[in-house]
Chain A
Amino acid sequence: MDVRLVEETPWRYRIERSGPMRVPGVVFAPHGLLPLDEGDRALEQVANVASLPGIVRASYAMPDIHWGYGFPIGGVAATEVAAGGVVSPGGVGFDISCGVRLLTSELDRDTVREVLPALMDRLDPLIPRGLGRGCLWRPAGRRQLADLLRGGARYLVDMGHGVPRDLDRCEDGGAVDVTDVTQVGDRALERGAGQVGSLGSANHFLEVQAVDRIYDEACARTFGLRTDQVCVMIHCGSRGLGHQICTDHVRRMEAVMHRRGISVPDRQLACAPVDSPEARDYLGAMAAAANYARANRHLLADAARAVFREHTGHGLDLLYDVSHNLAKLERREVDGERRLLCVHRKGATRALPPGHPDLPADLAGAGQPVFVPGTMGTASYVLAGVPGNEAFDSSCHGAGRVWSRHRAQREIDIRHLRAELVAAGVSARPTSWRSATEEAPEAYKDVDAVVTASERNGLSRIVARLVPLGVLKG
């Protein structure tokens, strides 16, 4: 598809409507963050998404936009249910409900420096990650796995893992209610049974971090953040179960799309009207995967909490847990009318403004916490939702890759990466250093520039910058 890019402001570009596009594209990025390398098709993906039936307002791209499947990563699109709007599994991504949780401690960076080696020595063998490396919790059978898929983190708290406050601070109270476990296939269940409480590989991690700088004192106070405070950030999703659900339902939707008169410019944009049986089945399975992802992060967090208590005498409190790969049915005002929308956020974080009724009461004054993991050698950010966000209350989700994995392995040698991390004061424990080179800081955009662009575009405001002290990667 032809992509005609127009600079609207130094921080934002519009993709003009052309061909089958029903709405324009809007890219919330300055020129330096645009994916303009020869052959990069991320902007074409923004335009492709704009052709989805029922899409309203615009096909949005966050500042960390990069090349995905069907949707770009960093893509946000809302479709109107009553106008034949569709849900597309490609608008959620393979890793359904991949997300981030941040836990805070009462400890300072200087205190932890002494015990960090012991903490990392304990976390390293405990946290399952990488190729076939087990899980923290194994269901007794299919029935118990189904209970977990229906109950998410709530089910685990009922079983004695974690504390009720963890649920107050998790999106949807730790579980989505509208699951349909019958739509999770056998292969997905089999893959999911052995991975509850595991990080996986690629860009997923558990990091011990320290608050490097506070940008918004009032907001940070509400979030319980202060300079030099030690935190733990966990980034992972629904593992093989989510990937299998996406694969199965894309295949099913692709098989029936032509009967519904829907054509899309990319097979990975396969979709179905939200009120169709195929869409209902997908949304029921997607919700089950979302619950699995929350349960997964919940168990990893509870394990990290136990290690902190054992080695420092202090536990960890959950600040918030939020997904960045999900579709949600949300009632929102469009052109002066309240409408039911299916909001896809793929590599984009929901960012509710202050006072929103879905926020925990003690966070509502500040807006929803948004977590933006950078890289293992640079920094991560805590942002907060703001009023007037035109992208259906969405913000960025990470630094955004610029190099392929192959290029990263080719250009970064292990000695260089290890030296870079030592110089940054980071104790890294990857399962494989060769694999870790794919995640080298050089393979990503500048996370400082990404969050600045988010703030300049009215998507969120910067609250705090965190730097890594200890990194576990798969």
Chain B
Amino acid sequence: MPHTGDLAVEAWAPEREECVAEAVRGAVGGFAEIPPGAVRTEREYELADDTDERLLVAALEEMIFQAETAGELPAQVSVRRTGTAVRMRLAMVDSALVEQVGAVPKAVSLHGLRMAREASGGWRCHVTLDV
């Protein structure tokens, strides 16, 4: 049974960083529809990377923070390790151009938080966002 109040996201990918990017895409898709032709601005953010879970949380928290303070949402997401840092590149769109299709997330909860490599070698994560 999914959590009653909020937005749960499950994502998977062969690589850890791509799994995080998928989770961000899934979270945005849960509340926003971004028009394909909207003007995009490239932004880059360094993410905390102490643990796998922390990386996932940092990426989602950055998306929420930028949505609230800069009024921008990502049309494209990529997460890459470069040297010792993990960086998230977002192709941002003005949120005034975006159609809201669900409650807007406000925080990343620790409830059922998982980010781990599977036996198959790929990565899978589960996260619940408070709205």
The residues of A with any CB-CB pair to B shorter than 8 Å are: 37-40, 66-70, 73, 94-95, 130-132, 187, 190-191, 194-195, 200-202, 239-240, 243-244, 246-247, 250, 254, 266-268, 401-407, 409, 431-432, 434-435, 438, 474
Given A190-B65, A268-B111, A405-B7, 5 other A-B contacts at CB below 8 A?
A: A68-B5, A131-B98, A131-B100, A243-B106, A406-B8
Whether A67 touches B4, Cβ cut-off 8 Å, given contacts A243-B130, A268-B111, is yes
A195 touches B68 (CB 8 A): yes
Give chain A nearest CB distance to B10 CB in angstroms. Answer: 12
The residues of B with any CB-CB pair to A shorter than 8 Å are: 1-8, 31-32, 61, 64-65, 67-69, 71, 95-96, 98-104, 106-111, 113, 128, 130-131
Q: How far is the CA of A280 from the CA of B81 in the complex (A)?
A: 38
- List, in ascending order, chain A residues with CB within 8 A of B104's CB: 130-131, 200-202, 474
- Which of B2, B6, B68 sits near A132, CB closer than 8 Å? B68
- Which of B5, B8, B108, B113 sits near A247, CB closer than 8 Å? B108
- Nearest residue in A to B1 (C-beta to C-beta)? A39
- Which of B4, B107, B109 sits near A403, CB closer than 8 Å? B4
A438 touches B102 (CB 8 A): yes
Task: Give how many A-B residue pairs fall within 8 Å (CB-CB).
Answer: 114
- List, in ascending order, chain A residues with CB within 8 A of B68's CB: 132, 191, 194-195, 240
- Which of A191, A195, A404, A474 sits near B2, CB closer than 8 Å? A404
A66 touches B131 (CB 8 A): no
- List, in ascending order, chain A residues with CB within 8 A of B96's CB: 132
A69 touches B95 (CB 8 A): no
Q: How far is the CA of A240 from the CA of B113 in the complex (A)?
A: 21
B131 touches A130 (CB 8 A): no
Q: How far is the CA of A239 from the CA of B105 in the complex (A)?
A: 11
Can you pick out 18 interface pairs between chain A and chain B where the beta carbons lie within 8 Å of each other? Answer: A39-B1, A67-B5, A69-B111, A94-B106, A131-B32, A131-B67, A191-B68, A191-B69, A194-B69, A202-B103, A240-B64, A247-B61, A254-B110, A267-B111, A404-B4, A405-B103, A432-B102, A434-B100
- Which of B1, B3, B106 sits near A37, CB closer than 8 Å? B1
Q: How far is the CA of A37 from the CA of B128 in the complex (A)?
A: 19
B103 touches A69 (CB 8 A): no
Q: How far is the CA of A78 from the CA of B128 in the complex (A)?
A: 27
A67 touches B3 (CB 8 A): yes
B4 touches A435 (CB 8 A): no
- List, in ascending order, chain B residues with CB within 8 A of A191's CB: 65, 68-69
- Nearest residue in B to A268 (C-beta to C-beta)? B110
